Structures are given as C-alpha cells and as structure tokens.
Amino acid sequence: MTDTEKLRQILSRWSITLERPRPDIVISGSPERTAFRTVVEDAEGRHWLLEKIPPRLKRGKLDIIHLISHLSREGFEYALPYRAASDGAYHVAEADGLWQLLPFVDGVALDRPRYVFDAW
C-alpha cells in the first residue's frame, strides 16, 4: 500500500475524498504533540490536518476536542472543532494508528531553533 492509498483509507472514515497530500504546506506549532501529522487536500479543495496520536494520549486529546467543540458551540469563532468520523467518533483506529482530523489553519512558521532565545 502506498502512502497515498493509506491516506485515502484513513480519510474515508470521515467520508473525505483525498485529492492530494500536501507535504509542501508547513504546519505551525509543536510537532511533538503527535506521532505524525500531515496536511491533506480534499476533492473540494479544503485543507485538513490529519494527526496520528499515541493511544496513551487518547483521553487527554478527547478532553481537548470536547473543550474546543464546546467553545465553538458557544460562538467563539476562533475555536475550530475537530471533525467527528462517520461513526461519530473523534478518533479512528486505522492503518496501524489512532487518527484525528481538524481543519487546517495557516500559521506562522517559527524560526527554529532560534526562537527559543526570544525575550518573551
């Protein structure tokens, strides 16, 4: 199975049709929060952040997902909720991993490792 086929298989659990992987898009934030993450583009041109997490982090990640969903329902426009899979679950066990999906938001790439010396 190719990487693209694997991504198609995983995304199908959210009823999303993969148009193409987007390794050219830089993901802001700390990569240590997940085991793997990548940006994918769906057939409608939307970008999604697909993350693989270690199973031991599932409970904590669910707490974060529920908090963001609550903030979104309460009208906080900057809270972009994670997407529930077709079965209503936020985590999908597929292709030797536990996956979660959320809309991708462009950010500012940090100047690593230099940013650690910023005064703030």
- The residue among 34, 29, 37, 16 whose CA lies nearest residue 84 is 16
User: How far is the C-alpha of 90 from the C-alpha of 100, rounded, in Å?
Assistant: 6
Q: Where are the beta strands (DSSP E) in 1-120?
A: 18-21, 36-42, 47-53, 92-94, 97-103
pLDDT the model gives residue 115: 64
C-alpha to C-alpha distances, 107 to 30, 50, 55, nearest whole angstrom:
12, 16, 27
pLDDT the model gives residue 21: 97
Q: Quick: pLDDT tens for 56-95.
A: 999 999 999 999 999 999 999 999 999 999 999 999 999 8
| Its pTM surpasses 0.95 | no
